[in-house]
Amino acid sequence: MKRLLTLILCLTLVCACGTTLGEMSGGVQAFESGSDMLVMCFSATDNTWDVAVKIAALTGADIFRIEPEVPYTSDDLNWRSSDSRANKEQENDSCRPAIAGLPEGLDGYKTVFIGFPIWWGTVPQIIKTLIETCDWQDKTVVPFCTSGSSGISDAIQDLKAMDCGAQICEAGRRFPAGADEDEVRRWLKEIGYLKEEAGMNRMIITIGDSELTVRLAENESAEALKDWLASGPKTISASNYGGFEKVCPLGVRLPSHDEHTTTQPGDVMLYASNQIVIFHGNNSWAYTRLGWIEGKTNEELRAILSGPETEITLRLE
């Protein structure tokens, strides 16, 4: 299945010609760069699109603007009116506004950033149309949003509840209108997707016949882990625990900055400074994040990580 077509402009071309991010407009629809990352964005007032363009430029991702088949008018978006289209859509959980010109498929993309404004505390219904229309198997979805004050946590949980087959990244971010490039850059650096660092920020975990790709976090603990692996692959013991995790003593101590966390399938955490814990279920405890497994469904993670293997091998990609 063919990749997204280039429509109107290629971001890499305009950036090379000296166009600044601030000069990019909503007229840019999509481009093809050969990236394995894609930014998909619904933006009724261009606030979220502005962030999406920055993410695409800073990660090297392709970008696609989600346009409703019937465009929203200012009256449609009037949240003060109980009769406005947006209010009625959000009140009807089965409402799925049609999308104009969706791509033929997402083949070749491992990571998809999905951007949207927060409407009534969560995702606009048109995002649910997107989730239910496309095939998300073996992909990582990284949500981002804009809002005046509402956070992104409820939106992330609603996306996860749709059980689309993707790994939904818990490190999604809410941005204010007019977020500057430095703020977007800091977030991408934190989650390991910044273009100049992404190529050296992955670890491979081999378990039996399976390989898991881990996008490492940007913190002192992950840096220490990379330093430890710089001399070559390390094979360590592993054991199943609690029906939701595989615990792997490192044999060395890494710096840690534990925070109370409710883990999700695919989380890779440091426990007690000397154990890697790889999750295929949920647990609430104090951990330091090391990274996230990419491109595996919850069912695949459970099958791989709950197996009888007593060793794993870690190496840098």
Q: What is the mean pLDDT of each run of 10 residues along the chain (317 residues)?
A: 35 32 37 77 95 95 95 92 93 95 84 96 96 93 95 96 92 94 92 73 94 91 94 96 96 95 92 97 94 87 94 95
Tell me whether residue 5 is in a domain: no
Closest by CA position to 119, among listed 87, 97, 144, 141: 87
For residue 249, the enclosing domain spans 201-316
User: Under 8 Å CB-to-CB from 92, ≥6 apart: which residues?
Assistant: 125
Domain shared by 230 and 305, yes or no? yes
Tell me whether residue 134 is in a domain: yes
Tell me whether residue 4 is in a domain: no
pTM of full prediction above 0.85: no
From 197, 212, 242, give the residue that closes a domain: 197
Residue type, 136: W
